[in-house]
Chain A
Amino acid sequence: MDSTARLFPENAHRALEDRQLQSALARFGEGFPVKRRNAIDRLPEFEALRDAGKAIKEHTLEHLDYYLEQFETKVTEVGGRVHWCTDAEAARQKILEICRASGARTVTKAKSMIGEEIGINEFLEHHSVKPVETDLGEYIIQLRHEPPSHIIVPAVHLSKEQVADAFRAAHPQFPSDRVLEEPRVMLDEAREVLRREFLSADVGITGANMLVAETGSIILVTNEGNADLTQTLPRVQIVIASIEKVVPTLEDATTILRLLARSATGQELSVYTTFTTGPKRPEDLDGPEEYHVLLLDNGRTSMLGNEFKEMLRCIRCGACINHCPVYAAVGGHAYGWVYSGPMGAVLIPNLIGVGEAGHLPNASTLCGRCEEVCPMRIPLPRMLRQLREKQFEAKLSPKPIRWGLWGWAFLARRPALYKLAMRVGVGTLGAIGRRRGRFRSLPMASGWTQARDLPSPQGPTFQQLWSARGGRRQ
């Protein structure tokens, strides 16, 4: 997927002006946070579970090579194949190669953020293989030729009227005067269309919520069951997963599953939680005959060795996004690449570069709500700050900010001079503004006064008044 992260302020401006989007974001609002809170209140051991989940991931990341190789061995033992892909291009080529070898013309897909990351749909289309998204939200945005705006609710930015319009345009086989108002009716229509695709697809591509090293299993979590049809019906199954998805044991996986659904949607367990191990065995009634797992690095191994390693604990629940005031204001598309919210603001610069995505870590108030709700206790604010350090060191931050900071720090490091400067500045502003109490606009302060009045300083500084009153200094 091409990035527009560099244009974050423009993207955000458009998002704030988009009334339809704003009403969708308002509807989204506190729904998931409230459900999450309720689910956690019903589970007294939730905090202990977070510690356990974090410990599992920390251990796995320390021994990632071992568990990935164990996973590969197990997958091979049950008749599957593992393909190691260093980057998006390698993954795309491997998928195309498998599709070509099986003569595939149609591919069904279950929702996969790795699929978005490597831009697999455009690539397959370009090579005359038709990808069909089968998660309802993904299906809708595929029809609209747009990326997901949220990692677990990809079409959250849309109204049902926009969905109806997309269905009318894409489904000419139905009467054009049909009524498409109720979500249930649209769901039935999508189901009818997708059922045919499920039955005719040659290859099924899914992601994986986890990979289990001890058994070679993959775990998929959905609320629609579409991933199950995607992996059982076609003759060939391809699983695409990034390397940090591996956990050592089934026991570990269940610990993380208990955290995942509660943190994401407030469910105790997602409706479908499916464990799949290898291709169809002789005694099985159905399942794929060929089974491939693509393990994608795409920048993860370099994070393993740096200060962003903890980001690799992320289980993609979306809790940080659901609780982020910036995401709530501008939605997911403004971030300009596959991911969004706090996890996106950390991950995107790591995957596509801090030069391209430098706005994202800055567009945060560092309010800390993301870290508070992260089931894996990922220190997201700390990493946002560290990305800012990288920018500052590389002199990538905007010049006015750097110079302003330099001037301010120059004064702040010289208390006597600082006091004098503040006295002069504040004295002037205070003398002008005191009567009315505030400024509606002020030269050099348009960033502030664009959105709000600037309260006037009271007058002399505290330091001045304290000295005048003979207050103790030591």
Chain B
Amino acid sequence: MRAHRPTVGLFVTCLVDTMRPSVGFAAVKLLESAGCDVIVPAGQTCCGQPAYNSGDTADAAAIARQVIEAFAKVDYVVVPSGSCAGTIKVHYPELFADDPKMRDAVQRLVERTWELTSFLTEVMQTGPIASSYPHKVTYHDSCSGLRELGIKAQPRALLAQVEGVELTELQTAETCCGFGGLFCVKYPEISGKIVDAKVDDVLASGADTLLGGDLGCLLNISGRLHRRGANVHVRHVAEVLADATGDTPAIGEGK
């Protein structure tokens, strides 16, 4: 155990904040049980990725400055999303590449920022909360987390410690689900075709639950599964790791 309890700033992400706060609370529970003090800075909104990926670098940079300032004082910034963490760690430095005044502040943020499952396994070197989820599950590796941050083994290592979880892999675990941020509403037909292939694979896996670490992808896959009338539960991996599935319906499921 560490002598010092690190202070972690939770970067909630806009999708968790608005669509599924239970993921944020699961993250808080995991971080506290790992021995962290958790704060949620009030100055945060979004990481700026929608602006950045739409070519609006001025707004993206303004939002990034806000994030840098809001999280200036914490030991770590933890994000329950590989995509938003990737924006901070990989793309903020690109955004301020020509701004020497910002370089140090950006670098300090980059070094302290972690995606949730990699923070738990690599920094805190801890497991999940004593949790149980007796289901056959499968896992979607979201593109940004996988390719920008190398998140693949971390959530699986944590899931292996959850009682009752039987993990079966997708053929296409590393293939994009067709979400792509604004892509899915700008090109809905193509996005629909791509997510259909993912849904086919999920159904072929025989799993009753699909887990992942990025809410955007999960909303997309869950939405298509439901549209096709499939009975597969979709959840953020943090909810399973924090034993927080009991009274929280899965994504897109009613009370």
Interface string of A439-455 (1 = CB under 8 A from B): 01000011110111111
Contact A363 B251 (CB under 8 A): no
Q: Inside 8 A of B20's CB, which chain A residues have their CB?
A: 455, 457-458
B134 at the interface (CB under 8 A from A): no
B164 at the interface (CB under 8 A from A): no
Contact B226 A474 (CB under 8 A): no
Within 8 Å by CB of A453, from B42, B176, B182, B227, lies B227
Q: Inside 8 A of B193's CB, which chain A residues have their CB?
A: 16, 329-330
Contact B183 A388 (CB under 8 A): no
**Residues of chain B in range 4-60 having any CB-CB distance to chain A below 8 Å:** 12, 14, 16-22, 24-25, 28, 37-46, 48, 50-57, 59
Contact A460 B21 (CB under 8 A): yes
Contact A454 B223 (CB under 8 A): yes
Q: Inside 8 A of B248's CB, which chain A residues have their CB?
A: 458
Contact A389 B57 (CB under 8 A): yes
Interface string of A452-474 (1 = CB under 8 A from B): 11111111111101100001111
B186 at the interface (CB under 8 A from A): yes
Compute how far the CA of A463 lies from the CA of B180 in the bound complex, rounded to whole angstroms: 25
B73 at the interface (CB under 8 A from A): yes
**Residues of chain A in range 379-402 having any CB-CB distance to chain B below 8 Å:** 382, 385-393, 397, 401
Within 8 Å by CB of B222, from A367, A440, A455, lies A455
Interface residues on A, range: 35 or more
Compute how far the CA of A277 lies from the CA of B219 in the bound complex, rounded to whole angstroms: 58
A interface: dominant SS: helix
Nearest-neighbour CB distance to chain A for B150, whole angstroms, equals: 12
**Residues of chain A in range 188-218 having any CB-CB distance to chain B below 8 Å:** none
Contact B189 A16 (CB under 8 A): yes
Contact A329 B190 (CB under 8 A): yes
Please, which residue of chain A has its CB at the minimum distance from the CB of B251? A455
Number of interface residues of B (CB under 8 A): 78
Contact B45 A415 (CB under 8 A): yes
Give the interface segment out of A133-141, A156-164, A430-438: A430-438
Compute how far the CA of A387 lies from the CA of B44 in the bound complex, rounded to whole angstroms: 28
Nearest-neighbour CB distance to chain A for B86, whole angstroms, equals: 9
Contact A452 B44 (CB under 8 A): no
Interface core residue of B52, B55, B144 (most chain A CB under 10 Å): B55
Give the interface segment out of A55-63, A75-83, A175-183, A406-414: A406-414
Contact A450 B188 (CB under 8 A): yes
Interface string of B140-166 (1 = CB under 8 A from A): 000110011000000000000000000
Provided the pairs A329-B193, A422-B17, A451-B224 are in contact, do residues A471 and B40 lie with their beta carbons within 8 angstroms?
A: yes
Compute how far the CA of A458 lies from the CA of B249 in the bound complex, rounded to whole angstroms: 9
A326 at the interface (CB under 8 A from B): yes
Provided the pairs A388-B54, A405-B51, A426-B18 are in contact, do residues A447 and B63 lie with their beta carbons within 8 angstroms?
A: no
Contact B143 A368 (CB under 8 A): yes
Nearest-neighbour CB distance to chain A for B21, whole angstroms, equals: 4
B185 at the interface (CB under 8 A from A): yes
Q: Inside 8 A of A369's CB, which chain B residues have their CB?
A: 143, 147, 174-176
Nearest-neighbour CB distance to chain A for B96, whole angstroms, equals: 15
Interface residues of B (CB under 8 A from A): 12, 14, 16-22, 24-25, 28, 37-46, 48, 50-57, 59, 62-63, 66, 70, 73, 94, 143-144, 147-148, 174-176, 178-195, 197, 219-220, 222-224, 226-227, 248-249, 251-255
With A415-B45, A455-B20 known, 13 other A-B pairs at CB within 8 A are A328-B197, A362-B186, A372-B147, A388-B53, A390-B55, A397-B55, A405-B59, A425-B18, A438-B253, A452-B226, A453-B227, A456-B254, A473-B41
The 6 A-B residue pairs whose C-beta atoms are closest, nearest first, are: A365-B180, A451-B192, A452-B223, A447-B185, A392-B55, A388-B55
